[in-house]
């Protein structure tokens, strides 16, 4: 049966106790909350197949891409600072880039200059062409 009329709610809407609340005076909608604090305020998980965001977006706690964040993660790091993980859901450093071990796959590619002002710890190293000043080689 089809009804050829508009559905109008003038003073607000509440479905169940806190399933959906529409506050006409504030223009806010709450899903899973009776006191929305944003235009659309959702308490609980959201399943979405496609998201488009225009403008500034704030993610308060963490951002995870891929199953459990295994592709890309932004979380509070071990020192309390924000840590970014690529290929890991648990970055151990401010920037932690990982690829599967022993696959011959390049885990990090940088095109352009790189400046390192602290220590550089390298397990294996190969240079194609190098100019080195003041090199000290020791053996452990």
Which whole number is the average pLDDT over 40-49? 87
The arithmetic mean of pLDDT across residues 80-92, rounded, is: 87
Quote the pTM value: 0.59
Do 69 and 85 contact (CB within 8 A), yes or no? yes
- Identify the burial level of 30 via C-beta atoms within 10 angstroms of its C-beta, where 0-12 means exposed, 13-18 middle and 19 or more buried: buried
Pairing of strands 28-31, 63-65: unpaired
pLDDT at 77: 60
Would you place residue 78 in the very low, low, confident or very high pLDDT band (cuts 50, 70, 90)?
low
| Residue length of the chain | 140
Tokens read off for 19: 């399933």
Q: To the nearest whole percent, how much of the chain has pLDDT over 70?
A: 89
């Amino acid at each position: 049966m089809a009804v050829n009329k508009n559905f109008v709610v003038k003073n607000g809407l509440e479905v169940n106790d806190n399933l959906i609340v529409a506050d006409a005076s504030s223009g806010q909608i709450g899903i899973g909350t009776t006191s929305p604090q944003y235009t659309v305020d959702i308490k609980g998980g959201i399943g979405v197949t496609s998201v488009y965001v225009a403008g500034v977006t704030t993610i308060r706690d963490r951002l995870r891409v891929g199953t459990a964040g295994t592709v890309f993660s932004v979380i509070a790091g071990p020192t309390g600072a924000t840590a970014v993980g690529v290929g890991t859901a648990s970055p151990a450093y401010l920037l932690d880039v990982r690829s599967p071990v022993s696959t011959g796959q390049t885990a990090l590619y940088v095109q352009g200059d790189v400046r390192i002002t602290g220590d550089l710890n390298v397990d294996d190293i190969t240079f194609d062409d190098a100019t080195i000043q003041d090199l000290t080689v020791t053996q452990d």
